[in-house]
Amino acid sequence: MTAPLLKVTDLQKSYGAIRAVAGVSFEVMPGEIFGVIGPNGSGKTTMFNSVLGQITPEAGSIELNGRDITGLNPRQLNQRGVGRTFQTLQVFGKMTVRDNLIVAAQEHHGSMFSRMFAPGDSGLGGKADALIDQFHIKHVAHKKAGELSYGQQKLVDIAMAFMSDPDLVLLDEPCAGVNPSLVGGISSLLKELNGKQKANGKASSFIVIEHNMDFVMDLCHRIMVMVEGQVMAIGTPDEIRANKQVLDAYLGN
């Protein structure tokens, strides 16, 4: 049996009297697209931010490739191969799209000192151009990211997460606020990126929080349903769709 890429065990986080995450455990396998769904307030974002080092959990452990990463800060996690996108757009508005992508991976090359003398694009120009082509944003590559439309900025935001070839990418509502005509495009892009082998021969795994059910069911290999800070069910899209408890609590008829 292959070892899981990410193993979360009994994660707990409370805000005062509110138990936002009340003992959540799950595993994500290498190359898997793992969806997380649930009503608002179910603790999805808190769980997400705990894995990403934005919040420190009170109890529980998080292991990446067998090594404990609980409590590491976002920068350390990124250096270990964890990437993320943000629910509210977080691009670098005053830099060009291409520079946004380059800066997204440049800190993985060389040391602080060597970077003082490295070429401006740290040798990442080719990779940035490849992602720009893949995301169909070539026509705006040299504009300032802040000048793009919402949908285009969303694509840049997602592309940035993939520049450093992460083992695990966490996507926080990648379809939020996006024109329905673009949702299919994002889904295909994510499938392409998931299918492509990285330079080191490993495939990357995704964890996706989303409210768009069609998107989630179509994209994900397995889905976890969270309700009131706990895991209600984990299974394939078909299993989840057939799960009576989940239908009652969340999906409806």
Partner 1 sequence: MTDFLQLLFSGAATGSIYALAALGFTLLWQASGTINFAQGEFVMLPAFMMLGGMAMGLPLPVAFIATCVVAVFVLGWAFKRGIADPLFKYGMMPIVVATIGLAIAMRNGVRAGYSAEAHPFPYLFGEKLFNIAGVTITSGDVGTLVMALALVLATQGFLQKTVTGRAMQAVAQNTESATVLGINVPRMIFYTFAINALLACAAALLVTPVYLAKFDMGESLGNKAFFAAIIGGFNNSRGALLGGVIVGVAENLAAAYISPAYKDAVALVLFMVVILFKPQGLMGFKEVRKV
Partner 2 sequence: MKLITKLGIFAFVVLLLAAPPTLKSYGIYLFTYWLIYVIATMGLNLTVGYAGQKSLGHAAFFGIGAYTVAIMMQAGISFWLALPTAMLGCFVVGLILGFPALRVQAIYLAFATLGFNTAVWLVLRNEEWLTGGTFGINGIARPNFFGLALDDALPYYYFVLVVTVIMAGLLWGLLASPWGKAFKALRDNPIRAESLGINIQAYTLLSFAIGAVYAGVAGALFASLVQFIEPAPFAVHASILMYLMVVVGGPGYFFGPVVGAAVGVLLPEWLRFAQAWYMFVFGSAVVLLMLWLPDGLLSIPERLRAKRLAREASAARAAAAAAVPTQAQQGAQ
Torsion 112-64-164-48 (CA) sign: negative
198 binds partner 2 (CB under 8 A): no
**Nearest to residue 89, comparing CAs of 156, 144, 13?**
156
Task: Write down the least CB distance from residue 120 to partner 2, Å.
Answer: 5
Length in residues, the chain: 253
Stretch in the footprint of partner 2 (CB under 8 A) among 17-25, 103-111, 179-187, 233-241: 103-111
Binder among 10, 59, 68, 79 for partner 2 (CB under 8 A)? 79
Which partner in partner 1, partner 2, none is near 49 (CB below 5 to 8 A by kind)?
A: partner 1
Q: Which does 95 bind (CB under 5 to 8 A by kind): partner 1, partner 2, none?
A: partner 2
Which of 6, 51, 57, 86 contacts partner 1 by CB under 8 A? Answer: 86
Instruction: Please give the DSSP secondary-structure letter assigned to residue 176.
Output: T
CB atoms within 10 A of CB 159: 23
Q: What one-letter code names the amino acid at 143?
A: K
Distances (CA, A) of 157 to 10, 71, 72, 138, 210: 31, 25, 23, 15, 16
Nearer to partner 1, 49 or 153 (CB): 49
Residues 119-158 touching partner 2, rule: CB under 8 A, are 119-120, 122
Q: 74 vs 184, which CB is nearer to partner 1? A: 74
Q: Is position 54 an interface residue for partner 1 (rule: CB under 8 A)? A: yes
Exposed/middle/buried for residue 142 (C-beta within 10 Å: 0-12, 13-18, 19+): exposed
- Total binding residues toward partner 2, as defined by CB under 8 A: 35
Q: How far apart are CA 108 and CA 104, in angstroms?
A: 9
Residues binding partner 2 (CB under 8 A)? 52, 73-75, 77-79, 83-84, 86, 90-95, 99, 102-109, 112, 115-120, 122, 160, 164
